[in-house]
Amino acid sequence: MIKDLIYFIQKPLYQWLTFVALAFILLFIIFRPRQEDTIWVIAGVTYLAFMFVNTVFIWTAESMWSYFFFSLLFSVLYLAAASAMTSVYSEMVDTKGSGESGMIFLVIIYHPFLLLLVVLVKWLVFKLFY
């Protein structure tokens, strides 16, 4: 059971699906924010969680480079999905605010660096100890 769950969450596609569904649940069911900035912060924090999980699982990836590029693809797809969700939710609830908290997604520039850092550490560990 746990092994199947870990195998499931190791794939960038399933990570993306999980965190898009989580963002949807947080926005539309649990929090139901009334301000534009809060909507973007919820989507952004969910993206940070996606980024963290994605970066951790590159350590166990069989093919690091394909995982790296698929991760970046799904990272951009998450941004597109989050943008669509926040826009739809804002229109449905008629929220007020500037939406400037959408800048939380500027952390996307750190995603490739974190992935490359883990690849470098993995390479160093295997070169030095194996």
Tens-digit pLDDT profile for residues 31-88: 999 998 899 999 999 999 999 999 999 998 989 999 999 999 999 999 999 999 998 9
Structure confidence at residue 19 (pLDDT): 97
Tens-digit pLDDT profile for residues 77-112: 999 999 999 989 998 998 887 767 778 888 889 999
The residue ranges of every structural domain in the chain are 2-129
Structure confidence at residue 114 (pLDDT): 95
Phi/psi region, residue 95 (left: phi>0; alpha: psi -120 to 50; beta: rest), is: beta
As a whole number of Å, the CA-based R_g of the chain is: 17
Structure confidence at residue 102 (pLDDT): 73
